[in-house]
Amino acid sequence: MTAQPVETQTLAQSPVAIACQFCEKVWGQGDLAALYELTSDDFTIFYPIMSAPLNRDAYAALMTDVHTGFPDFRVTVEEAIAQGNQVVVRWAAEGTQTGPIQLLNLPPTGRAVRYSGMVIYRMAQGKIFEARGEEDTLGLLKQLGVLG
């Protein structure tokens, strides 16, 4: 019998650890391998700023866009609370926009941003299958100079 790596054992035992890994690795570092490891094949994410929910591949493209625009982007989990198959994470994100952001059709601004939000993750069989987020989009757009 071979032992599993500690990280895998921890993830399998804790929905909070899965959610925190998703925030820090996938969103905060743009780790697309972690995206596919931590989510189910039918993963869907909902954000009010998006015109439609994103599946896993569309979210991977979004993460690539974010990390192209903000190469130093990072996310800090400030609080995580679990109940049943749901985990609520309160987070803060920051970075400097030195690259283009296709989603906003925005050339590099050189502006540093810091904003926050919350996301609810729903899980089954040790994988995230749904996420619903809320964030300070207005504050982010103001910091980028998109809105006055």
pLDDT at 50: 87
Residue 62 contacts residue 77 (beta carbons within 8 Å): no
In order of their start, the domains of the chain are 6-143 (3.10.450.50)
Rounded Cα distance, 64 and 138, in Å: 22
What would the mean pLDDT of 70-87 be, rounded to a whole number? 96
What would the mean pLDDT of 95-122 be, rounded to a whole number? 95
User: Which residues partner with 117 through β-bridges?
Assistant: 91, 135
What would the mean pLDDT of 94-115 be, rounded to a whole number? 95
47 backbone dihedrals φ, ψ, rounded to 5°: -135, 135
Rounded Cα distance, 55 and 100, in Å: 23
What average pLDDT does the structure give for the chain? 91
Residue 121 contacts residue 89 (beta carbons within 8 Å): yes
What would the mean pLDDT of 37-55 be, rounded to a whole number? 95
Rounded Cα distance, 120 and 47, in Å: 11
* DSSP three-state, residue 128: strand
Q: Is the pLDDT of residue 1 over 50?
A: no
Q: pLDDT, tens digit, for every residue of 92-102? A: 999 999 999 99
Sheet (strand 127-135) strand order: 54-55, 39-46, 127-135, 112-124, 86-96, 74-83
